[in-house]
Structure 1
């Protein structure tokens, strides 16, 4: 992408936003390997040369989306406070992650596809950003458990289970709605009730 975003005109910002939104649709549907610049250009209603003025390649668009997504994706975990009530902090994290699956399904699928395909475009971020944060918060959770404020469990696997149980509703939306038999029904209120009950029973001392 062109440098100096602060010096962009409104039209340039609008074009970048249109490309990003179109690419999110294309990548989340087809994955990185199954997507093309031509598909993204068509979805953004731009010519291919116009798109390539802003992003030189499919890889550049994909990396731009992932770099912006990483910070948003990890924010709910960052918000977990060591001095808060342990169970409520965990349940709030579950609710936030489930809300992200409801409100940001394309982003969830983009992230999942990237990880499934080996995280080629965000590998460094997993090591330098995601892992240190998860380790820090796992340490906080372990402290709560050591103090008897939560039932014992492996804190890293607890975080993994929260990811899998919340992001499932975005990554497998069609399957969820098909199995429930009501494609028009919002599954998230019942999902929240279920997950809150599940983790309360698992962790309440």
Structure 2
């Protein structure tokens, strides 16, 4: 009898993970409005009442996915530090973002779909935690610029460009692979290109 709670706990964790995995697949493909609890349940291999036992609504599942994804997504930006070479840190950030697009394409498409639909469920985070973090790291980048360690660039738009150039490979992966063909590794090639692009962009100008 003492083992039963542990077995149930493992089942609950397994079912919750199955629901979130299924929901990620459905939401990233169909968007929020095009996805139903029935579809999530079918993909997860669970009954609809079972899904609703763990999450009260479709909105609750969606919110759980988005919050978990954003926490993962913001990790590399949080890692920017005042110590170390600024250009190397920014290049490392771009590489991490590209790796995340490669490793988490469904999460990237989920986020893109949410933003395209107005980001109603993300608004408090985008205008709160994300904005504060971006402002903080933009101030750090501005400090590097003032010290002459990197070129004069707009810090906010530098970060926006990294997001756009890395997440494109997840959000438009079908297009990228179709254009490049089967003999290319888009992520490996993109990393070489982005390293060159940002190293040239960030190289400080010689002062006369």
The bucket for the TM-score relative to the shorter chain is over 0.9
Alpha-carbon separation, structure 1, partners of 2:38 and 2:133: 37
Q: CA deviation at 1:186?
A: 2.5
1:47 aligns with 2:44: no
SS at match of 1:9: helix
- Superposed CA RMSD in Å reads 1.3
1:10 aligns with 2:10: yes
For 2:4, the equivalent position in structure 1 comes to none
SS at match of 2:163: helix
For 1:93, the equivalent position in structure 2 comes to 93
For normalisation by structure 1, the TM-score amounts to: 0.94
SS at match of 1:32: coil
Alpha-carbon separation, structure 1, partners of 2:196 and 2:80: 19
Q: Deviations over 1:27-67 (max 9, x none)?
A: 01111111111110010001111111111111010001111
Q: What stretches of structure 2 of length at least 5 have no aligned partner?
A: 1-7
For normalisation by structure 2, the TM-score amounts to: 0.92
For 2:192, the equivalent position in structure 1 comes to 193
For 1:103, the equivalent position in structure 2 comes to 103
- After superposing on structure 2, the runs of 4+ consecutive aligned residues of structure 1 that deviate more than 2 Å are none
For 1:202, the equivalent position in structure 2 comes to 201
Q: How does 1:99-178 map to 2 (within 5 A)?
A: 99-178=99-178
Q: CA deviation at 1:204?
A: 1.2
Q: CA deviation at 1:120?
A: 1.1
